Structure 1
Amino acid sequence: MTIPLAATVAGAVLIILQATLMGLVTLHRIRKPDGPDAADDPVLQRKIRRHGNLAENAALFIVVLALAEMTVVPDDIVRIIAVIFVAGRILHAIALSTAAGSQDALTAGTFPIFRAIGALCTFGSFMALGFYLLTGIF
Protein backbone atom coordinates (compact mmCIF):
# COMPACT_ATOMS: atom_id res chain seq x y z
CA MET A 1 0.00 0.00 0.00
CA THR A 2 1.21 3.50 -0.82
CA ILE A 3 1.32 6.14 1.88
CA PRO A 4 -1.08 8.97 0.92
CA LEU A 5 1.48 11.79 0.83
CA ALA A 6 -0.81 14.51 -0.54
CA ALA A 7 -3.34 13.79 2.21
CA THR A 8 -0.52 13.82 4.76
CA VAL A 9 0.76 17.22 3.66
CA ALA A 10 -2.74 18.69 3.37
CA GLY A 11 -3.60 17.25 6.79
CA ALA A 12 -0.47 18.77 8.31
CA VAL A 13 -1.29 22.24 6.96
CA LEU A 14 -4.92 21.97 8.02
CA ILE A 15 -4.12 20.76 11.55
CA ILE A 16 -1.71 23.68 12.02
CA LEU A 17 -4.43 26.06 10.79
CA GLN A 18 -6.96 24.36 13.09
CA ALA A 19 -4.64 24.65 16.10
CA THR A 20 -3.99 28.30 15.30
CA LEU A 21 -7.69 29.10 15.09
CA MET A 22 -8.33 27.17 18.31
CA GLY A 23 -5.55 29.09 20.02
CA LEU A 24 -7.04 32.40 18.91
CA VAL A 25 -10.39 31.44 20.44
CA THR A 26 -8.67 30.44 23.68
CA LEU A 27 -6.61 33.64 23.86
CA HIS A 28 -9.70 35.74 23.27
CA ARG A 29 -11.53 33.97 26.09
CA ILE A 30 -8.58 34.37 28.45
CA ARG A 31 -8.30 38.08 27.69
CA LYS A 32 -12.02 38.74 28.04
CA PRO A 33 -12.68 40.16 31.50
CA ASP A 34 -16.33 39.04 31.54
CA GLY A 35 -15.55 35.35 31.20
CA PRO A 36 -15.68 32.90 28.33
CA ASP A 37 -19.31 33.49 27.20
CA ALA A 38 -19.66 34.35 23.52
CA ALA A 39 -23.28 35.50 23.64
CA ASP A 40 -22.48 39.20 23.82
CA ASP A 41 -19.16 39.19 21.98
CA PRO A 42 -19.43 39.26 18.17
CA VAL A 43 -15.64 39.01 17.75
CA LEU A 44 -15.52 35.83 19.83
CA GLN A 45 -18.52 34.47 17.93
CA ARG A 46 -16.64 35.03 14.64
CA LYS A 47 -13.56 33.27 15.99
CA ILE A 48 -15.63 30.31 17.16
CA ARG A 49 -17.43 30.11 13.80
CA ARG A 50 -14.12 30.26 11.94
CA HIS A 51 -12.67 27.45 14.04
CA GLY A 52 -15.82 25.32 13.83
CA ASN A 53 -16.24 25.80 10.11
CA LEU A 54 -12.78 24.43 9.43
CA ALA A 55 -13.40 21.52 11.80
CA GLU A 56 -16.65 20.67 10.02
CA ASN A 57 -14.97 20.36 6.64
CA ALA A 58 -11.32 19.42 7.05
CA ALA A 59 -11.61 16.04 8.75
CA LEU A 60 -13.95 14.50 6.20
CA PHE A 61 -11.93 15.98 3.36
CA ILE A 62 -8.65 14.47 4.57
CA VAL A 63 -10.19 11.03 5.01
CA VAL A 64 -11.71 11.04 1.54
CA LEU A 65 -8.57 12.55 0.01
CA ALA A 66 -6.52 9.71 1.48
CA LEU A 67 -9.00 7.17 0.10
CA ALA A 68 -8.80 8.83 -3.30
CA GLU A 69 -5.02 8.85 -3.21
CA MET A 70 -4.85 5.17 -2.26
CA THR A 71 -7.38 4.01 -4.84
CA VAL A 72 -8.46 5.27 -8.25
CA VAL A 73 -7.79 9.01 -8.48
CA PRO A 74 -4.61 9.99 -10.37
CA ASP A 75 -1.89 11.51 -8.15
CA ASP A 76 -1.81 14.82 -10.03
CA ILE A 77 -5.56 15.24 -9.60
CA VAL A 78 -5.32 14.42 -5.89
CA ARG A 79 -2.62 17.08 -5.45
CA ILE A 80 -4.59 19.70 -7.37
CA ILE A 81 -7.74 19.03 -5.33
CA ALA A 82 -5.72 19.15 -2.10
CA VAL A 83 -4.17 22.53 -3.00
CA ILE A 84 -7.55 23.96 -3.99
CA PHE A 85 -9.15 22.79 -0.75
CA VAL A 86 -6.36 24.05 1.51
CA ALA A 87 -6.20 27.41 -0.29
CA GLY A 88 -9.97 27.71 -0.04
CA ARG A 89 -9.96 26.96 3.68
CA ILE A 90 -7.25 29.56 4.27
CA LEU A 91 -9.17 32.19 2.30
CA HIS A 92 -12.35 31.29 4.17
CA ALA A 93 -10.62 31.61 7.54
CA ILE A 94 -9.22 35.01 6.54
CA ALA A 95 -12.67 36.16 5.45
CA LEU A 96 -14.28 35.08 8.72
CA SER A 97 -11.67 37.12 10.58
CA THR A 98 -13.56 40.29 9.70
CA ALA A 99 -17.07 41.54 10.29
CA ALA A 100 -17.49 42.24 6.55
CA GLY A 101 -16.49 38.70 5.60
CA SER A 102 -18.62 36.97 8.20
CA GLN A 103 -21.93 38.78 7.78
CA ASP A 104 -24.83 36.91 6.27
CA ALA A 105 -25.77 39.86 4.08
CA LEU A 106 -23.93 40.21 0.80
CA THR A 107 -21.54 43.14 0.95
CA ALA A 108 -18.90 44.39 -1.43
CA GLY A 109 -15.22 44.04 -0.68
CA THR A 110 -12.32 41.66 -0.55
CA PHE A 111 -13.29 39.62 2.49
CA PRO A 112 -16.75 38.53 1.27
CA ILE A 113 -15.06 37.51 -2.00
CA PHE A 114 -12.52 35.45 -0.02
CA ARG A 115 -15.40 33.79 1.80
CA ALA A 116 -17.20 32.96 -1.43
CA ILE A 117 -14.04 31.62 -3.08
CA GLY A 118 -13.25 29.57 0.02
CA ALA A 119 -16.74 28.06 0.10
CA LEU A 120 -16.62 27.34 -3.64
CA CYS A 121 -13.20 25.67 -3.32
CA THR A 122 -14.52 23.51 -0.49
CA PHE A 123 -17.67 22.53 -2.37
CA GLY A 124 -15.78 21.90 -5.60
CA SER A 125 -13.16 19.77 -3.87
CA PHE A 126 -15.80 17.65 -2.18
CA MET A 127 -17.72 17.15 -5.41
CA ALA A 128 -14.60 16.37 -7.45
CA LEU A 129 -13.41 13.75 -4.97
CA GLY A 130 -16.83 12.17 -4.75
CA PHE A 131 -17.28 11.95 -8.51
CA TYR A 132 -13.74 10.69 -9.12
CA LEU A 133 -14.18 7.97 -6.53
CA LEU A 134 -17.61 6.90 -7.76
CA THR A 135 -16.70 6.88 -11.44
CA GLY A 136 -13.34 5.20 -10.82
CA ILE A 137 -14.67 2.22 -8.91
CA PHE A 138 -17.69 1.45 -11.09
Structure 2
Amino acid sequence: MPVPVISATVAAVILALQLILMITVGLHRVKSQTNIGVGDDPDLERKIRRHGNLAENAAIFLVVLALAELVGGSPVILCWVGMAFVVARASHAIAFSSLTGSHGESGSKLFVLARVIGAFGTFASGLFLAGYLIYFLNMA
Protein backbone atom coordinates (compact mmCIF):
# COMPACT_ATOMS: atom_id res chain seq x y z
CA MET A 1 0.00 0.00 0.00
CA PRO A 2 1.40 3.40 -0.94
CA VAL A 3 2.19 5.96 1.71
CA PRO A 4 -0.18 8.96 1.47
CA VAL A 5 2.59 11.56 1.21
CA ILE A 6 0.36 14.44 0.12
CA SER A 7 -2.05 13.87 2.99
CA ALA A 8 0.81 13.52 5.44
CA THR A 9 2.31 16.81 4.26
CA VAL A 10 -1.00 18.66 4.51
CA ALA A 11 -1.57 17.10 7.94
CA ALA A 12 1.85 18.26 9.16
CA VAL A 13 1.17 21.85 8.06
CA ILE A 14 -2.32 21.81 9.60
CA LEU A 15 -0.93 20.36 12.84
CA ALA A 16 1.67 23.14 13.02
CA LEU A 17 -1.09 25.72 12.57
CA GLN A 18 -3.26 23.96 15.16
CA LEU A 19 -0.42 24.00 17.69
CA ILE A 20 0.24 27.70 17.11
CA LEU A 21 -3.43 28.48 17.68
CA MET A 22 -3.48 26.26 20.78
CA ILE A 23 -0.49 28.08 22.25
CA THR A 24 -2.14 31.48 21.70
CA VAL A 25 -5.18 30.28 23.67
CA GLY A 26 -3.02 28.92 26.48
CA LEU A 27 -0.89 32.04 26.73
CA HIS A 28 -3.99 34.24 26.79
CA ARG A 29 -5.52 32.09 29.55
CA VAL A 30 -2.37 32.49 31.66
CA LYS A 31 -2.22 36.23 31.03
CA SER A 32 -5.92 36.78 31.83
CA GLN A 33 -6.04 34.14 34.58
CA THR A 34 -9.10 32.59 32.92
CA ASN A 35 -8.81 28.84 33.39
CA ILE A 36 -12.29 27.82 32.21
CA GLY A 37 -14.58 29.44 29.67
CA VAL A 38 -14.01 32.93 28.31
CA GLY A 39 -15.29 35.21 31.05
CA ASP A 40 -16.09 38.56 29.46
CA ASP A 41 -13.01 38.47 27.24
CA PRO A 42 -13.80 38.75 23.51
CA ASP A 43 -10.11 38.32 22.65
CA LEU A 44 -10.03 34.97 24.42
CA GLU A 45 -13.30 33.98 22.79
CA ARG A 46 -12.00 34.65 19.27
CA LYS A 47 -8.79 32.73 19.97
CA ILE A 48 -10.78 29.75 21.21
CA ARG A 49 -13.11 29.99 18.23
CA ARG A 50 -10.31 30.04 15.64
CA HIS A 51 -8.58 27.11 17.35
CA GLY A 52 -11.80 25.10 17.59
CA ASN A 53 -12.92 25.94 14.08
CA LEU A 54 -9.70 24.55 12.65
CA ALA A 55 -10.05 21.40 14.74
CA GLU A 56 -13.62 20.76 13.64
CA ASN A 57 -12.81 21.18 9.95
CA ALA A 58 -9.34 19.67 9.63
CA ALA A 59 -9.94 16.12 10.86
CA ILE A 60 -12.58 15.06 8.36
CA PHE A 61 -10.82 16.85 5.50
CA LEU A 62 -7.55 15.06 6.23
CA VAL A 63 -9.26 11.66 6.48
CA VAL A 64 -11.00 12.11 3.13
CA LEU A 65 -7.81 13.45 1.53
CA ALA A 66 -5.90 10.39 2.73
CA LEU A 67 -8.65 8.07 1.47
CA ALA A 68 -8.62 9.74 -1.93
CA GLU A 69 -4.85 9.39 -2.06
CA LEU A 70 -4.89 5.74 -0.94
CA VAL A 71 -7.43 4.70 -3.58
CA GLY A 72 -5.27 6.22 -6.29
CA GLY A 73 -6.61 9.74 -6.82
CA SER A 74 -4.57 12.10 -8.97
CA PRO A 75 -1.60 13.43 -7.00
CA VAL A 76 -1.83 16.75 -8.84
CA ILE A 77 -5.51 17.23 -8.00
CA LEU A 78 -5.02 16.14 -4.40
CA CYS A 79 -2.02 18.42 -3.98
CA TRP A 80 -4.00 21.41 -5.26
CA VAL A 81 -7.05 20.71 -3.11
CA GLY A 82 -4.80 20.16 -0.10
CA MET A 83 -3.03 23.46 -0.70
CA ALA A 84 -6.38 25.23 -1.14
CA PHE A 85 -7.53 23.87 2.22
CA VAL A 86 -4.32 25.01 3.94
CA VAL A 87 -4.63 28.51 2.44
CA ALA A 88 -8.29 28.67 3.47
CA ARG A 89 -7.56 27.62 7.04
CA ALA A 90 -4.62 30.03 7.33
CA SER A 91 -6.83 32.80 5.95
CA HIS A 92 -9.51 32.01 8.53
CA ALA A 93 -6.93 32.09 11.34
CA ILE A 94 -5.69 35.47 10.09
CA ALA A 95 -9.27 36.76 10.02
CA PHE A 96 -9.73 35.71 13.63
CA SER A 97 -6.59 37.58 14.64
CA SER A 98 -8.82 40.63 14.88
CA LEU A 99 -12.15 41.40 16.51
CA THR A 100 -13.09 42.85 13.12
CA GLY A 101 -12.86 39.41 11.54
CA SER A 102 -14.35 37.44 14.40
CA HIS A 103 -16.94 39.75 15.96
CA GLY A 104 -17.69 42.22 13.18
CA GLU A 105 -16.28 45.20 15.06
CA SER A 106 -15.06 48.21 13.08
CA GLY A 107 -11.63 47.96 11.55
CA SER A 108 -9.85 46.80 8.44
CA LYS A 109 -12.07 45.06 5.91
CA LEU A 110 -9.09 42.83 5.08
CA PHE A 111 -9.97 40.72 8.13
CA VAL A 112 -13.53 40.35 6.88
CA LEU A 113 -12.23 39.38 3.44
CA ALA A 114 -9.86 36.86 5.02
CA ARG A 115 -12.80 35.32 6.88
CA VAL A 116 -14.82 35.02 3.67
CA ILE A 117 -11.86 33.44 1.88
CA GLY A 118 -11.31 31.10 4.81
CA ALA A 119 -14.93 30.00 5.10
CA PHE A 120 -15.59 29.71 1.37
CA GLY A 121 -12.22 28.07 0.69
CA THR A 122 -12.82 25.49 3.41
CA PHE A 123 -16.31 24.75 2.07
CA ALA A 124 -15.22 24.65 -1.58
CA SER A 125 -12.16 22.46 -1.03
CA GLY A 126 -14.15 20.05 1.15
CA LEU A 127 -17.04 19.86 -1.30
CA PHE A 128 -14.67 19.34 -4.22
CA LEU A 129 -12.75 16.64 -2.37
CA ALA A 130 -15.92 14.79 -1.39
CA GLY A 131 -17.21 14.94 -4.96
CA TYR A 132 -13.86 13.93 -6.37
CA LEU A 133 -13.63 10.87 -4.11
CA ILE A 134 -17.18 9.77 -4.99
CA TYR A 135 -16.50 10.32 -8.69
CA PHE A 136 -13.16 8.53 -8.56
CA LEU A 137 -14.60 5.53 -6.75
CA ASN A 138 -17.42 5.22 -9.29
CA MET A 139 -15.02 5.49 -12.24
CA ALA A 140 -12.53 2.93 -10.91
Interval containing the TM-score (normalised by the shorter chain): over 0.9
Please, which runs of 5 or more residues in structure 1 have no aligned partner?
none
Q: Percent identity?
A: 44
Residue correspondence of structure 1 range 1-138 to structure 2 within 5 A: 1-33=1-33, 35-36=34-35, 37-103=37-103, 109-138=109-138
Q: What displacement does 1:106 show?
A: 10
**Cα deviation 1:89-134 (Å, max 9, x = unaligned):** 0010000110111125898710110010011111111111111111
Specify whether residues 105 and 84 from structure 1 end up closer, same or farther in structure 2 by C-alpha distance, changes over 3 A only: same
Q: CA RMSD in A?
A: 1.7
Specify whether residues 71 and 105 from structure 1 end up closer, same or farther in structure 2 by C-alpha distance, changes over 3 A only: farther
In 1, distance between residues paired with 2:131 and 2:12?
25
* TM-score normalised to structure 2 length: 0.92
Please, which runs of 5 or more residues in structure 2 have no aligned partner?
none
In 2, distance between residues paired with 1:105 and 1:42?
11
107-116 vs 7-16, greater mean Cα deviation: 107-116
**Cα deviation 1:28-71 (Å, max 9, x = unaligned):** 011114x3241300000000001000000011111110001111
In 2, distance between residues paired with 1:106 and 1:122?
25
* TM-score normalised to structure 1 length: 0.93
